[in-house]
Amino acid sequence: MPIISISNLSKSFSDGTNALDDVNLEVNEGEIIALLGPNGAGKTTLISAICGLLKYDSGRIKVNGYDTVTEYRRTRKLIGLVPQEIMLEPFETVYDTIRFTRGMFGYPENKELLNNILQKLSLFDKRKQMIKELSGGMKRRVMIAKALSHSPKILFLDEPTAGVDVELRRDMWNVVGSLKSKGVTIVLTTHYIEEAEMMADRIALLNKGQIIFVENKESLMARMGKKELTINFQSPISSIPEALSKYKLALSQDQFSLIYSYDNKASRTGITRLMRDIASTNLILQDLKTSQSSLEDIFVRMIRN
């Protein structure tokens, strides 16, 4: 059973914006799924609908088998949310604010656990400080600490690294990594495709309120990812030699190399034959390089289509 299952979810705002359009999505327990998509795609709206921040027009959301509207107490208890924006009470101390969240989720204070969370996020020294005295990065850490205060089974991170310094980003991914190893399911949205590429098990692409696809990251890269072999020569070549005309080759701008595109999942890539044919010409090899298209390339291509 998927831990989150969304069926036929639609939502339009009172101004007529169709933010979600018949969304279907399943999230498996323990996985990291990245929601990607351009600004305004509906990522935040989707998360908000699951977490109870807004009402939706039609469809159904189940978390751990329970309906998020009629059985909200059961579903929300499992969820921790780090919203896109920093929203904190300025006149509260760091410790008090995470204790507040834990209380809201129905748990008694647990000093050891809360201090532990603060330590992991390098907030322990600041626990008695008021929020208003913290820097932006520290506030973001507090937002994460709040979301973890009730040990959720599912964590939503809405653009957690937007405008965040390198150190925090690293700490954040460490936390995400350790949560994953404890079996926590993580749903994140990000603009940084490298991050999704690095962290996620699966990728869902949203555009204009619709899910374009959901796919395993590896299979996506393999299916969509073309590989390129760049063959460098010692001296420039003015045109592609006759002997190589049967291959799909492109000549680089500086004329020092040929670029061969191939499908790395195909049973025969044609590389061996190509190399043999190159050897039969009088071209002298300088270097070889292969590269794989990134998720970013893939998405730019997909959204354009």
Partner 1 sequence: MNLYAIAAIYRFEMARTFRTLVQSIISPVISTVLYFIVFGAAIGSGIQTIEGIHYSAFIVPGLIMLTVLMQSVANASFGIYFPKFLGTIYEHLSAPVSFLEIIIGYVGAAATKSFIIGMIILITSSLFVPLNISHPVWMIALLVINCVTFSLLGFIIGILSNNFEQLNLVPMLIITPLVFLGGSFYALEMLPSFWQTVTLFNPVMYLISVFRWAFFDVADVPVFHSFLATLVFSITCTTIIYWIFKTGYKLKN
Write the CB contacts of 47 (distance below 8 Å, at least 6 apart in sequence): 35, 81, 156, 158, 187, 189
Using rule CB under 8 A, residue 100 touches partner 1:
yes
137: amino acid identity, one letter: G
Closer CB to ligand ADP, residue 53 or residue 285? 53
Q: Exactly one of 79, 172, 200, 258 binds partner 1 (CB under 8 A); which one?
A: 79
Pair 286, 233: CB distance under 8 Å: yes
Ranges within 17-46 binding Mg ion (CB under 5 A): 43-44
Using rule CB under 6 A, residue 161 touches ligand ADP:
no
The SS3 of residue 155 is strand
Partner touching 106 among Mg ion, ligand ADP, partner 1, none, CB below 5 to 8 Å by kind: partner 1
Q: Total residues at the site for ligand ADP (CB under 6 A)?
A: 12
Q: Total residues at the site for Mg ion (CB under 5 A)?
A: 3
User: How many Cβ atoms are within 10 Å of 6's Cβ, its own excluded?
Assistant: 23
Q: Exactly one of 3, 32, 36, 43 binds ligand ADP (CB under 6 A); which one?
A: 43
The SS3 of residue 290 is strand
Q: Exactly one of 39, 70, 91, 253 binds partner 1 (CB under 8 A); which one?
A: 91
Q: What token pair was written down for 146?
A: 């709040």
Ranges within 143-172 binding partner 1 (CB under 8 A): 146
CA pair distance 211, 41, nearest whole angstrom = 9
Closer CB to Mg ion, residue 43 or residue 140? 43
For the bound state, the minimum distance from the C-beta of residue 60 to partner 1, rounded and expressed in Å, comes to 17
For the bound state, the minimum distance from the C-beta of residue 212 to ligand ADP, rounded and expressed in Å, comes to 13
Using rule CB under 6 A, residue 37 touches ligand ADP:
yes
Which residues contribute to the site for Mg ion (CB under 5 A)?
43-44, 84
Which residues contribute to the site for partner 1 (CB under 8 A)?
13-14, 51-55, 72-77, 79, 81, 83, 85, 87-92, 96, 99-108, 146
